[in-house]
Amino acid sequence: MRFAITASLLIAFCSAGSWADDTAAIRKQAESGDAAAQFELGRYFAREAGKTDSEKRALRDQKRAYDWYAKSAEQGYAEAQFALGQMYLLGQGVAKDKSQGVDWQVKAAEQGLAKAQFEVGMQYLSGVVLEQDSESAIDMLIRAANQYHVPAQKQLGTMYFQGAGVAKDLVRAHMWFSAADLSGDKAARGYLPMLESIMDAAQIDEARALAEQWRLEFSDE
Protein backbone atom coordinates (compact mmCIF):
# COMPACT_ATOMS: atom_id res chain seq x y z
CA MET A 1 0.00 0.00 0.00
CA ARG A 2 1.32 3.42 -0.96
CA PHE A 3 0.17 6.12 1.44
CA ALA A 4 3.11 8.45 0.88
CA ILE A 5 2.50 11.53 -1.19
CA THR A 6 4.92 14.04 -2.59
CA ALA A 7 5.52 17.31 -0.77
CA SER A 8 4.72 19.32 -3.89
CA LEU A 9 1.31 17.71 -4.22
CA LEU A 10 0.56 18.18 -0.53
CA ILE A 11 1.27 21.88 -1.00
CA ALA A 12 -1.03 21.86 -4.00
CA PHE A 13 -3.82 20.25 -1.98
CA CYS A 14 -3.63 22.98 0.65
CA SER A 15 -3.17 25.98 -1.65
CA ALA A 16 -6.26 27.89 -2.72
CA GLY A 17 -6.66 28.01 -6.47
CA SER A 18 -3.92 25.48 -7.23
CA TRP A 19 -6.25 22.64 -8.17
CA ALA A 20 -6.97 24.00 -11.64
CA ASP A 21 -3.31 23.52 -12.53
CA ASP A 22 -2.65 20.32 -10.61
CA THR A 23 -5.76 18.22 -11.27
CA ALA A 24 -4.03 16.21 -13.99
CA ALA A 25 -1.02 15.44 -11.79
CA ILE A 26 -3.04 14.36 -8.77
CA ARG A 27 -5.47 12.36 -10.90
CA LYS A 28 -2.55 10.53 -12.49
CA GLN A 29 -1.17 9.67 -9.06
CA ALA A 30 -4.61 8.60 -7.83
CA GLU A 31 -5.21 6.44 -10.89
CA SER A 32 -1.85 4.77 -10.31
CA GLY A 33 -3.22 3.51 -6.99
CA ASP A 34 -1.83 6.03 -4.48
CA ALA A 35 -4.29 5.92 -1.56
CA ALA A 36 -3.40 9.38 -0.25
CA ALA A 37 -3.90 10.92 -3.69
CA GLN A 38 -7.20 9.09 -4.06
CA PHE A 39 -8.37 10.54 -0.75
CA GLU A 40 -7.32 14.05 -1.73
CA LEU A 41 -9.09 13.77 -5.08
CA GLY A 42 -12.21 12.59 -3.27
CA ARG A 43 -11.95 15.53 -0.88
CA TYR A 44 -11.62 17.90 -3.82
CA PHE A 45 -14.85 16.65 -5.38
CA ALA A 46 -16.61 16.77 -2.00
CA ARG A 47 -15.63 20.43 -1.66
CA GLU A 48 -16.79 21.14 -5.21
CA ALA A 49 -20.16 19.55 -4.44
CA GLY A 50 -20.58 21.91 -1.52
CA LYS A 51 -19.78 25.01 -3.57
CA THR A 52 -22.20 24.64 -6.48
CA ASP A 53 -25.81 25.83 -6.64
CA SER A 54 -26.59 23.17 -9.22
CA GLU A 55 -28.20 20.08 -7.68
CA LYS A 56 -27.22 18.01 -10.71
CA ARG A 57 -23.57 19.02 -10.46
CA ALA A 58 -23.56 18.53 -6.67
CA LEU A 59 -24.86 14.99 -7.05
CA ARG A 60 -22.29 14.27 -9.76
CA ASP A 61 -19.41 15.57 -7.64
CA GLN A 62 -20.64 13.70 -4.56
CA LYS A 63 -20.62 10.49 -6.57
CA ARG A 64 -17.08 11.23 -7.76
CA ALA A 65 -16.02 11.93 -4.17
CA TYR A 66 -17.57 8.66 -3.06
CA ASP A 67 -15.80 6.69 -5.79
CA TRP A 68 -12.35 8.07 -4.91
CA TYR A 69 -12.89 7.76 -1.17
CA ALA A 70 -13.93 4.14 -1.68
CA LYS A 71 -10.79 3.33 -3.66
CA SER A 72 -8.62 4.83 -0.93
CA ALA A 73 -10.60 3.32 1.94
CA GLU A 74 -10.36 -0.15 0.46
CA GLN A 75 -6.58 0.22 0.70
CA GLY A 76 -6.89 0.96 4.42
CA TYR A 77 -6.39 4.74 4.34
CA ALA A 78 -7.96 5.90 7.61
CA GLU A 79 -8.97 9.42 6.55
CA ALA A 80 -10.76 7.99 3.51
CA GLN A 81 -12.48 5.35 5.63
CA PHE A 82 -13.82 8.07 7.90
CA ALA A 83 -14.93 10.23 4.97
CA LEU A 84 -16.59 7.26 3.28
CA GLY A 85 -18.40 6.50 6.51
CA GLN A 86 -19.71 10.06 6.62
CA MET A 87 -21.01 9.75 3.07
CA TYR A 88 -22.94 6.61 3.96
CA LEU A 89 -24.32 8.22 7.11
CA LEU A 90 -25.46 11.32 5.22
CA GLY A 91 -26.48 9.60 2.00
CA GLN A 92 -24.14 11.70 -0.11
CA GLY A 93 -22.94 10.10 -3.34
CA VAL A 94 -24.44 6.81 -2.22
CA ALA A 95 -27.69 5.54 -0.70
CA LYS A 96 -27.85 6.28 3.03
CA ASP A 97 -26.74 3.27 5.05
CA LYS A 98 -25.97 3.98 8.70
CA SER A 99 -24.67 0.48 9.35
CA GLN A 100 -22.15 0.73 6.51
CA GLY A 101 -21.23 4.23 7.59
CA VAL A 102 -20.43 3.21 11.15
CA ASP A 103 -18.58 0.11 9.94
CA TRP A 104 -16.20 2.31 7.95
CA GLN A 105 -15.73 4.68 10.87
CA VAL A 106 -14.94 1.73 13.13
CA LYS A 107 -12.20 0.73 10.68
CA ALA A 108 -10.74 4.24 10.83
CA ALA A 109 -11.02 4.30 14.62
CA GLU A 110 -9.15 1.03 14.91
CA GLN A 111 -6.27 2.66 13.03
CA GLY A 112 -6.09 5.44 15.61
CA LEU A 113 -7.91 8.31 13.84
CA ALA A 114 -9.11 10.49 16.70
CA LYS A 115 -12.20 11.96 15.05
CA ALA A 116 -13.32 8.45 14.11
CA GLN A 117 -12.76 7.22 17.65
CA PHE A 118 -14.91 10.08 18.93
CA GLU A 119 -17.74 9.33 16.51
CA VAL A 120 -17.64 5.61 17.26
CA GLY A 121 -17.64 6.37 20.98
CA MET A 122 -20.75 8.48 20.53
CA GLN A 123 -22.34 5.66 18.52
CA TYR A 124 -21.75 3.28 21.42
CA LEU A 125 -23.41 5.80 23.73
CA SER A 126 -26.47 6.31 21.55
CA GLY A 127 -27.09 2.64 20.79
CA VAL A 128 -28.76 3.57 17.48
CA VAL A 129 -26.45 1.62 15.17
CA LEU A 130 -23.98 -0.09 17.49
CA GLU A 131 -25.28 -1.89 20.54
CA GLN A 132 -25.21 0.51 23.48
CA ASP A 133 -22.04 -0.15 25.43
CA SER A 134 -20.77 2.42 27.91
CA GLU A 135 -17.48 0.62 28.48
CA SER A 136 -16.63 0.58 24.77
CA ALA A 137 -17.77 4.20 24.48
CA ILE A 138 -15.46 5.32 27.27
CA ASP A 139 -12.58 3.36 25.74
CA MET A 140 -13.02 5.02 22.35
CA LEU A 141 -13.50 8.48 23.82
CA ILE A 142 -10.36 8.16 25.95
CA ARG A 143 -8.35 7.08 22.90
CA ALA A 144 -9.50 10.21 21.08
CA ALA A 145 -9.07 12.44 24.13
CA ASN A 146 -5.48 11.27 24.56
CA GLN A 147 -4.83 12.68 21.08
CA TYR A 148 -6.06 16.12 22.20
CA HIS A 149 -9.46 15.71 20.56
CA VAL A 150 -11.32 18.44 22.45
CA PRO A 151 -14.92 17.23 21.88
CA ALA A 152 -13.92 13.83 23.31
CA GLN A 153 -12.26 15.47 26.31
CA LYS A 154 -15.35 17.58 27.00
CA GLN A 155 -17.65 14.60 26.52
CA LEU A 156 -15.67 12.62 29.09
CA GLY A 157 -15.72 15.58 31.47
CA THR A 158 -19.49 15.82 31.13
CA MET A 159 -20.02 12.10 31.59
CA TYR A 160 -17.92 11.96 34.75
CA PHE A 161 -19.62 15.08 36.11
CA GLN A 162 -23.12 13.75 35.48
CA GLY A 163 -22.39 10.09 36.21
CA ALA A 164 -23.81 9.25 32.76
CA GLY A 165 -22.61 5.86 31.55
CA VAL A 166 -19.84 5.90 34.18
CA ALA A 167 -19.60 6.34 37.95
CA LYS A 168 -19.79 10.01 38.90
CA ASP A 169 -16.28 11.30 39.57
CA LEU A 170 -15.66 15.03 39.99
CA VAL A 171 -11.90 14.51 40.02
CA ARG A 172 -11.97 12.82 36.60
CA ALA A 173 -14.42 15.39 35.29
CA HIS A 174 -12.07 18.19 36.36
CA MET A 175 -9.09 16.40 34.81
CA TRP A 176 -10.75 16.06 31.40
CA PHE A 177 -12.02 19.62 31.34
CA SER A 178 -8.48 20.69 32.28
CA ALA A 179 -7.18 18.67 29.33
CA ALA A 180 -9.57 20.53 27.01
CA ASP A 181 -8.50 23.80 28.60
CA LEU A 182 -4.90 22.97 27.62
CA SER A 183 -6.06 23.06 24.01
CA GLY A 184 -7.52 26.52 24.55
CA ASP A 185 -11.19 25.58 24.76
CA LYS A 186 -12.95 28.49 26.46
CA ALA A 187 -16.04 26.51 27.42
CA ALA A 188 -13.94 23.91 29.22
CA ARG A 189 -12.08 26.66 31.07
CA GLY A 190 -15.42 28.08 32.18
CA TYR A 191 -16.50 24.75 33.70
CA LEU A 192 -13.49 24.51 36.01
CA PRO A 193 -14.49 27.20 38.57
CA MET A 194 -17.98 25.70 38.74
CA LEU A 195 -16.54 22.25 39.39
CA GLU A 196 -14.12 23.54 42.00
CA SER A 197 -16.99 25.22 43.84
CA ILE A 198 -18.42 21.78 44.65
CA MET A 199 -15.10 20.00 45.24
CA ASP A 200 -13.00 20.01 48.39
CA ALA A 201 -9.35 21.05 48.43
CA ALA A 202 -8.06 17.47 48.36
CA GLN A 203 -10.16 16.65 45.27
CA ILE A 204 -8.95 19.77 43.48
CA ASP A 205 -5.33 18.95 44.24
CA GLU A 206 -5.80 15.38 43.01
CA ALA A 207 -7.52 16.55 39.82
CA ARG A 208 -4.77 19.05 39.05
CA ALA A 209 -2.11 16.41 39.67
CA LEU A 210 -3.87 13.99 37.32
CA ALA A 211 -4.17 16.68 34.65
CA GLU A 212 -0.46 17.44 34.89
CA GLN A 213 0.38 13.75 34.76
CA TRP A 214 -1.80 13.41 31.67
CA ARG A 215 -0.16 16.44 30.04
CA LEU A 216 3.33 15.06 30.61
CA GLU A 217 2.36 11.66 29.22
CA PHE A 218 0.50 12.80 26.11
CA SER A 219 1.96 16.18 25.23
CA ASP A 220 4.02 16.35 22.03
CA GLU A 221 6.30 18.92 23.63
Calpha distance 1→6 (Å, rounded): 15
The string of pLDDT tens digits covering residues 112-162 is 999 999 999 999 999 999 999 999 999 999 999 999 999 999 999 999 999
Map out the domains of the chain with their CATH numbers: 1-111 (1.25.40.10)
CA 146/CA 195 separation, integer angstroms: 22
pLDDT in tens, 162-211: 999 999 999 999 999 999 999 899 999 999 999 999 999 999 999 999 99
- In tens, the pLDDT along 11-35 reads 444 444 454 557 788 999 999 999 9
Burial label, 61 (beta-carbon count in 10 A; 0-12, 13-18, 19+): buried
pTM: 0.88
CA distance 47 to 152: 26
CA 184 to chain centre: 18
